[in-house]
Amino acid sequence: MTRITTNGTLFNYRYNLMTTTNQLNKAMTQVMTQRSFSTYAENPAGATRAFKIHSSLNATRAQYDNNKTVTSKFETAWSIMDGVINDLTHELGKVPAMEGLNGTNLDNLDTQAQILRSGAESIIQSLNGRYDQDFIFAGSDNQKAPFAIENGHVTYRGVKVDAELGDDYLDENNKPILKKDGTAMKNQEVLDMWAKQDPLYVDIGLGFQLDADGKVVKSTAFDASISGIKVLGYGVDDDGDPKNLASIMLRMAEVFESYDPENKGDPWKGHEEEANRLINKFNDAHERMSDAHSELMAKANFLEANGTTLKNTFDSLNTERQSLENVEPADAVMALSWAQLCYSAALQVGVNVIPQSLMDYMK
């Protein structure tokens, strides 16, 4: 026969009442917070997985924001180039050049020269456009205006794009850049580097990684750098003519201005062949800009598609997080109602279990 003592009964009652109270408090907390657990101890496996999901959500959100910013930058760059190619180079470049070479308009060559020079300046100003606080076409050095016209020459980041190409390059501190063999880099070599190897890597969810030397693995990041010198052209060809579109327009303006109708023997002063040659090279430079324009559109389309992928990834992760952390409101309310019922029942049991006090006995 088992003996049930008063103290044992009271201990069990207090223990069960505390358990019921804790269950009621937990149910109330779930209804108010809509969370299935509030501490790691309540659900170690779920909390561990939720922590990893939160980390992934934060990374995906940052990557999406980066992708959105870069997308806007490339779309703005495409829009600027669209205006340059379809408006400025046509109305202020090709048209006055063709009219200047038309034998019936030779008396207006000074006017055509002014239009060409104005067109070159407009192109340079357009390619110095900004997105937010960054210069779009400045490559990795996007805090300074990339283009300028100095003494009739186009410069990119302080270097003439069609002259002095064989001179040693000097940076803003008037110091050269040394190659591995210890010799100084030439202006042409620096322009080549800026056109081909001037990256500005951004993490947009491609698996961003660094190699053993701490450098970004190219396939895991997006190069957000837009080299204006690659877009507009640089250097000179075999004839010594500039490849830069704006430089060609400036040179054509000089040729037109040198025309002297009073010189009956040679009013072009030997530059007529050059003028005709430059108009063909203008068309070639314009075609190269069109190719660069199309490349920008392709990158913008890739960024749009990548943004959609990142958004879908975020939504999937958030759905999994909700399934781990959140409770169904209806289930939480039902659990609270049941906990309240159990708590009330426990209090009623206490009336019969707890012994009467001395004052109750004396009554």
Q: What's residue 354's pLDDT?
A: 62
Q: Where are the beta strands (DSSP E) in the chain?
A: 130-131, 134-135, 147-150, 153-156, 159-160, 201-202, 222-223
Query: Is 50 exceeded by the pLDDT of residue 85?
Result: yes
CA nearest neighbour of 246 among 97, 124, 92 = 124
Residue 361 has pLDDT above 60, yes or no: no
- Choice between 63 and 331, residue whose per-residue pLDDT is larger: 63
pLDDT of residue 77: 92
User: Each residue of 98-143: pLDDT tens digit?
Assistant: 655 555 456 677 787 888 888 889 889 999 999 988 999 999 988 8
What is d(CA 266, CA 353) in angstroms, rounded to the nearest whole number?
Answer: 126
Flag whether the pTM goes above 0.85: no
Angstrom distances, CA of residue 300 to CA of 3, 111, 171, 222: 83, 39, 32, 12
**Strand 147-150 relative to strand 153-156: parallel, antiparallel, unpaired?**
antiparallel
Q: Is the pLDDT of residue 271 over 80?
A: no
362 falls in which pLDDT band (50, 70, 90)? very low
Rounded to the nearest 5 degrees, what angle is found at the Cα of 210, between the Cα atoms of 302 and 146? 60
How far the first Cα of the chain sits from its last, in Å, is 34
Mean pLDDT of 81-93: 71
CA distance linking residue 36 with residue 29, whole number of Å: 9
Q: Residue 357 — very low, low, confident or very high, per pLDDT cuts 50/70/90?
A: very low
State residue 102's pLDDT score: 58
Please tell me the predicted confidence (pLDDT) of residue 15: 80
Lowest mean pLDDT among 70-74, 82-86, 154-158, 299-303: 82-86
The total of other beta-carbon atoms located within 10 Å of residue 81's CB is 25
d(CA 296, CA 287): 14
> Amino acid identity, residue 99?
E
How far is the C-alpha of 249 from the C-alpha of 231, rounded, in Å?
Answer: 16
Place of tokens 């149910």: 27
Q: Between these two residues, 85 and 141, which has the higher pLDDT value? A: 141
pLDDT in tens, 225-259: 999 999 888 999 888 899 998 998 898 888 888 87
76 touches 129 (CB < 8 A)? yes
Per the DSSP assignment, residues forming a β-bridge with 186 are 168
Judge whether residue 358 has pLDDT over 50. Answer: no
d(CA 27, CA 320): 22
Handedness of CA 277, 278, 281, 287 (dihedral sign): negative
pLDDT in tens, 38-76: 778 878 888 899 899 999 999 999 999 999 999 999 999
Determine what percent of the chain is predicted with pLDDT higher than 90: 36
Could you give the CA distance from residue 252 to residue 117 in angstroms, rounded to a whole number? 9
What is the longest distance spanned by two Cα atoms in the chain? 142
Burial class (CB within 10 angstroms; exposed 0-12, middle 13-18, buried 19+) of 24 = buried
Query: Which amino acid belongs to residue 32?
Result: M
The per-residue pLDDT for 169 is 92
Task: Report the amino acid identity of residue 18.
Answer: M
The answer on pLDDT for 91 being more than 70 is: no
At how many degrees (to 10) do helices 329-353 and 6-33 cross? 160
Q: Which of 96-110, 188-202, 254-268 has the highest mean pLDDT?
A: 188-202
Is residue 29 very low, low, confident or very high in pLDDT (cuts 50, 70, 90)? confident
168: β partners: 186
- Is the predicted pLDDT of residue 206 greater than 70, yes or no? yes
pLDDT at 317 over 70: yes
The rounded mean pLDDT for the chain is 84
265 or 100, which is more confident?
Answer: 265
Q: How far apart are CA 209 and CA 188, in angstroms?
A: 32
